[in-house]
Amino acid sequence: MPQARTRAFVLGQWRSGEQDKRVHLFSREHGRMQALAPGACRMKNRFGAALELFTEADFLFYYKQDLSHVTLSRVDPVCSRFELVSQPRWIFYFSLMSETLVRFLPPVQAEERTYRMVKAVLRTAEKEKNPASLTAYFLAWLLRIQGTMFSATHCCRCQHLITEEAWVNVNFRGVFCPQCHTRESARLDRECLRFLEIIRKQPPDDAPALSHDGGVSLLRVLTAKLEYDGEFTLTSLHCLPELQ
C-alpha cells in the first residue's frame, strides 16, 4: 500500500474497538483527514501522548485508495500543547475550535491559509490572550477563509456605512443598520463591529480584547452562522462559560 508523510494537528480522538483509536487530523497539504491508530488503546503503544488535542506532529501513514481514511504507522511530535489545552480557562474554547474544524471543513482538501491561521492562534494562546476574544478571531477568520463571512461595514439594504450598531440578517448574509432592521434579533454593538474591522488586517496577537458582553454577542453570532452554513449543531457550545 502507498505510504505518505504529512505534518498535522490532532483535532480529536475516540476509541475504535478494544485496542485501536480513530483520530481527526488537520494537515497543511491534505486538510481534514481521519486516521486509524492501531493499538493506541494499549498501555504501551507507539503513539504515546502524540494524539492529544492540537498536538502538532509529523505523521507517517499508509492508505489503500484515497486519503479520506488512512492508517498511522509512526508519529513524531513537533509541538505538544497538552498543558495549554488542558487549562480550565482554555479547555472548552479549544474543544469548540477543534469541533468547528472537524464539522465545517471539507475532507481531504488543502487548507494552507487555515493551517497557518490555526498555528498563529495557538501561538497567541500561549501568551495568556483572552480566550473569548481569540476564539472569536478564530471563528471569524475561518469563515472569511472559507468565503462565507458576512460584511459588517455597510447595511445590506441601504448601503450606508455602519459604525455604531448593526443587526445580522436572519440568513447571515449581511447586516442591517438601525433604520433598516425589522425582525432581526442578533445585534452587534460598536465594540463587536470595531473588533471585526480590526482583525481583518491584524494577526491574532494584535486582536483587541472583548468585554464579557461583547464576547458573548460575537460568539453567539459567529457560531450561529457556522451552524447555519454547515447545517449542523456544535455540541461543544453547551460547555462555553460565556454562553450559559
Q: Which amino acid is at 59?
A: F
Domain region containing 95: 84-243
Q: pLDDT tens, 164-221? A: 999 999 889 899 998 888 887 889 999 999 999 999 999 999 999 999 999 999 999 9
Q: Do both 21 and 101 map to the same domain?
A: no
Using the 3D structure, point to which of 34, 58, 80 is the last residue of a domain: 80
Q: Do both 72 and 98 map to the same domain?
A: no
Q: What pLDDT is attached to residue 1?
A: 61
DSSP for residue 171: T
Q: What pLDDT is attached to residue 244?
A: 66
Q: What pLDDT is attached to residue 190?
A: 94
Q: pLDDT tens, 115-172? A: 999 999 999 999 878 999 999 999 999 999 999 999 999 998 899 999 899 999 988 9
Domain containing residue 35: CATH number = 2.40.50.140
Name the β-bridge partners of 26. 9, 32
Q: Do both 37 and 11 map to the same domain?
A: yes
Q: pLDDT tens, 25-80? A: 999 999 999 999 988 888 787 888 889 999 999 999 988 777 778 899 889 999 99
Q: Do both 108 and 214 map to the same domain?
A: yes
Report the alpha-carbon distance of residue 192 to residue 214 in Å, rounded: 6
Report the alpha-carbon distance of residue 238 to residue 244 in Å, rounded: 7
Report the alpha-carbon distance of residue 167 to residue 126 in Å, rounded: 34
Report the alpha-carbon distance of residue 68 to residue 66 in Å, rounded: 6
Number of domains in the chain: 2
Per-residue exposure over 98-126, b if at least 16 CB sit within 10 Å of its own CB, e if not:
bbbbbbbbeebeebeebbebbebbbebbe
Q: Do both 62 and 91 map to the same domain?
A: no
Q: Do both 69 and 107 map to the same domain?
A: no
Q: Do both 117 and 68 map to the same domain?
A: no
Q: What pLDDT is attached to residue 241?
A: 72
